[in-house]
Amino acid sequence: MSAREAIRVALQALLSNRLRSALTTLGVLIGVMSVVLLVSIGQGARTEITGAIEGLGSNLLFVLPGDGDFGSGPSRSRFIADDIERIDRQLPGEQPRVAGSAVGAESLQADGQRFNATVQAVTAGYTSVLDRELGRGQPFTESDVVTSRRTAVLGATTAEELFAGQDPIGRQFSIGGIQFRVVGVLTRIGGEASPFGPDQDRTVLVPVTTGQRLFGTDRIDSIFVRASSTETIEVDRSTTERVLGERLDEDEFSVVSQDEIIGVVGDILSILTTVLGAIAGISLLVGGVGVSNIMLVSVSERTREIGLRKALGARTRDITVQFLLEAVALTVLGGVIGLGLGIGGAALVAEFAPVPAEVTWWSIALALGTSVAVGIIFGVLPARRAGQLDPVEALRRD
C-alpha cells in the first residue's frame, strides 16, 4: 500500500468516528498546549530577568549577604554604611565607585494622594554608580546624607501617582507620616520588579541615614561596586573582598559579577522551564495513554476488517502502518491545534499578565516532535496487535 493510500485510509477511519477522534485528540491537544504555554512563560521570564540584570551594566559587582549559594536561601545582611566608604577608599580612580541601599516598603502621601512604594535608603553615590539618570532636579548630596536631611528622589511612576503630572520638585510629601521634600525625579526605565531590585519606576530614594532611621535599622541590604573597566573587574573584586573580610566572616558576604548572576539566574530559570515543561509533559503523557486506549478499542472493533484486509492481500506491515498512521494523525492534529492555542495563549499572557511569555522556535519543534513521538510510542502497541492478528480468527469474529 502506498504512503498516500495509507494516509487516506487512516484519515477516513478517523473521520468515520468524528466525536471519538475529537475527544481523543483533545488529550494530546491540551498536553501540547500546556507544554508550549508553560515553556514560553519560563523562556519569557528568563529573557526578562536576564535583560533586567544586563540593564544594570556589565561592569557592576554586587555584594550580597550570605555565601553566594542561591540554594541556601536568603541570609541576613550584616553590611553597614561604613563598609561602603571603606571599600571606596581602597579603589582607585574617580569616586564614588561604591553605593549601597537598604530597602523597605512604606506608604506615601501627598495632597491626599496615597501610593505604596518601595523606599530605598541609598548612599549619595547610588545614582552615579548604578548609572541612573534624573529627568528633573538633582540627586541628593553627601551633606544630605551626613545631616540626615529629609529629601527624596522619586521614581517616574511614583512622581506621577503622587503629584498627578505637576512638577514635583520642591514639593512636600510624607513617608510613613514623616515629611520629605522632593529634590529630583528619575527618568523612566520601564523595567519590572526582579529578584535584584524593585520596579525602578515605582521607587523612592532617600538618603541612607534618613532611611535607616525610618526603618529603625542600621543595616545595608546590598552594596554595588562599579569597576572602571571589564579588565579591572577582578582586581576590584578582590579589593572588595579583602576590605569586607577584615570585618566579616567569609560566608557572610559574596561578591558576584553580573555575568555570574546571569549564569546562576539563567540556570535557575532553565530548571524552572524544564520543570514546567515536564509537568505539562505529564498531561501530554496522559493524552498519549488516551490515544493508546482508543486505538486498542478501534483495533478490537475492526478485527473483522483487519482479517478481511489480510485475506485481500494486506501484509502485516500494511495493517501495522495503517493503525500507526491513525494514531499519529490523531496526535499530530492535537499537536498542531495545541500549538496554535499555546502560541495564542502565550500572546494573551504576554499582553495581559505581568509574566512575560516568549514562544521560541524550539518550543514549536518540541511540540510537533513530541506529538509525532507520542503518536508513534502510544500507537505502536495497538498497531502491532492489529498487524499480528490471525486472519482466520479475525474473520470468524462477529
Q: List the grid coordinates of 340.
A: 496554535
Residues 317-346 that bind another protein (CB under 8 A): 317-318
Characterize 178-199 residue by residue with b for buried, 16 or more Cβ atoms within 10 angstroms of its Cβ, and e for exposed: eebebbbbbeeeebbebeebbb
Identify the residue among 285, 308, 355, 372 touching another protein (CB under 8 A). Answer: 308
Q: List the grid coordinates of 275.
A: 520543570
Output the smallest distance, CB 16 to another protein, in A: 5
Q: List the grid coordinates of 157.
A: 511612576
Q: Of the two residues 12 and 72, which places its CB atom closer to another protein in the complex?
A: 12
Stretch that binds another protein, among 104-112, 180-188, 266-274, 302-310 (CB under 8 A): 302-310
Give the type of residue at 396: R
Q: Of the two residues 46 and 302, which places its CB atom closer to another protein in the complex?
A: 302
Identify the residue among 312, 352, 354, 361 touching another protein (CB under 8 A). Answer: 312
DSSP state of 364: H
Our finding on whether 304 is near another protein (CB under 8 A) is yes
Output the smallest distance, CB 8 to another protein, in A: 9
Our finding on whether 305 is near another protein (CB under 8 A) is yes
Q: List the grid coordinates of 397.
A: 469474529
Answer whether 87's CB lies under 8 Å from 99's CB: no
Identify the residue among 132, 149, 202, 310 touching another protein (CB under 8 A). Answer: 310
Our finding on whether 397 is near another protein (CB under 8 A) is no
Question: Helix 208-215 to helix 81-90 angle, to the nearest 10 degrees?
Answer: 150
Stretch that binds another protein, among 48-56, 211-219, 249-257, 387-395 (CB under 8 A): 387-395
Stretch that binds another protein, among 180-188, 255-263, 304-312, 365-373 (CB under 8 A): 304-312
Output the smallest distance, CB 390 to another protein, in A: 8
**Angle subtended at Cα 168 by Cα 99 and Cα 187, rounded to the nearest 5 degrees:** 50
Characterize 352-364 residue by residue with b for buried, 16 or more Cβ atoms within 10 angstroms of its Cβ, and e for exposed: eeeebbbbeeebb
| 258: nearest Cα among 83, 97, 51 | 51
Tell me: cis bond preceding 96? Omega within 30 of 0 counts: yes
Calpha distance 294→298 (Å, rounded): 6
Q: Of the two residues 21 and 59, which places its CB atom closer to another protein in the complex?
A: 21
Our finding on whether 20 is near another protein (CB under 8 A) is no
Our finding on whether 16 is near another protein (CB under 8 A) is yes
Our finding on whether 392 is near another protein (CB under 8 A) is yes
Count of Cβ atoms closer than 10 Å to residue 16 Cβ: 9
One character per residue 75-94, x = contact with another protein (rule: CB under 8 A):
--------------------
Output the smallest distance, CB 314 to another protein, in A: 5
Stretch that binds another protein, among 47-55, 235-243, 248-256, 389-397 (CB under 8 A): 389-397
Our finding on whether 1 is near another protein (CB under 8 A) is yes
Output the smallest distance, CB 321 to another protein, in A: 12
Q: Of the two residues 314 and 359, which places its CB atom closer to another protein in the complex?
A: 314
Q: Which residue has the cell 532611621?
A: 213
Q: Of the two residues 242 and 315, which places its CB atom closer to another protein in the complex?
A: 315
Q: Note the helical H segments in 302-360.
A: 303-311, 316-352
**Of all helices (H) and strands (E), which one includes residue 385?**
helix 361-387
Our finding on whether 133 is near another protein (CB under 8 A) is no
Calpha distance 82→79 (Å, rounded): 8
Our finding on whether 398 is near another protein (CB under 8 A) is yes
What's the length of the chain? 398
Q: Note the helical H segments in 55-119.
A: 81-90
Output the smallest distance, CB 316 to another protein, in A: 5
| Size of the residue set binding another protein (CB under 8 A) | 26
Give the type of residue at 156: A
Residues that bind another protein (CB under 8 A): 1-2, 5, 9, 12-13, 16, 304-305, 307-318, 390-392, 395, 398
